């Protein structure tokens, strides 16, 4: 059984920890972003704030500027790395997967082809539209396919293996 003093002690401890948790700002709060922000938004916010708080370019006192700049660097280092960002999101209780999540053993198996797997926040193909060069390459690929099919029909008609009509 609990007596009144032990319940009061537990209540005070929980209340203090909740107050401290509210005072600790997340990396997203430091950058002024929502946890669903894209890689480009994170990079842009980091660049803007780093210019503002860099110790060499700010009017803030050096001690405050260095502290703020280190916090920004830590936040960006965590949020720009997809694996670290995912684990950080789970730590703060945010999940971008609301309905279906991949099975754990499928998420860890990646084909390496003899090279270690490296992911980069700058080369996420699902986070950007196709560039003009990529669209042009797909157009040329489609024209090549149609040209090959037309050539097959022309050769078949010339040999008499395919009759029209």
CA distance 36 to 50: 21
pLDDT tens across 37-83, in order? 888 999 999 998 888 888 888 888 888 888 988 999 999 999 888 88
Q: Which of 79, 1, 66, 72 is nearest to 35 (CA)?
A: 79
Tell me the pLDDT of the chain averaged across its residues.
Answer: 76
pLDDT tens across 11-36, in order? 555 555 444 444 467 888 888 888 88
CA distance 100 to 97: 6
pTM summary value: 0.45
**Inter-residue contact 78 to 90 (CB < 8 Å):** no
pLDDT at residue number 35: 84
pLDDT at residue number 107: 52
């Amino acid at each position: 059984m609990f007596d009144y003093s032990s319940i009061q002690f537990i209540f005070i401890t929980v209340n203090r920890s909740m107050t401290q948790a509210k005072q600790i700002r997340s990396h997203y709060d430091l950058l002024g972003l929502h946890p669903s922000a894209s890689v480009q938004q994170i990079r842009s916010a980091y660049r803007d704030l780093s210019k503002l708080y860099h110790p060499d370019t700010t009017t803030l006192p050096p001690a405050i500027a260095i502290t703020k700049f280190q916090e920004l660097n830590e936040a960006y280092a965590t949020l720009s790395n997809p694996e670290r960002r995912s684990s950080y999101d789970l730590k703060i209780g945010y999940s971008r997967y609301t309905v279906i999540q991949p099975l754990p053993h499928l998420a860890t198996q990646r084909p390496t082809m003899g090279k270690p797997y490296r992911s980069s926040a700058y080369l996420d193909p699902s986070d950007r539209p196709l560039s003009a060069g990529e669209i042009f390459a797909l157009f040329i690929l489609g024209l090549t396919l149609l040209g090959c099919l037309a050539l097959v029909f022309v050769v078949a008609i010339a040999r008499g293996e395919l009759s029209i009509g």
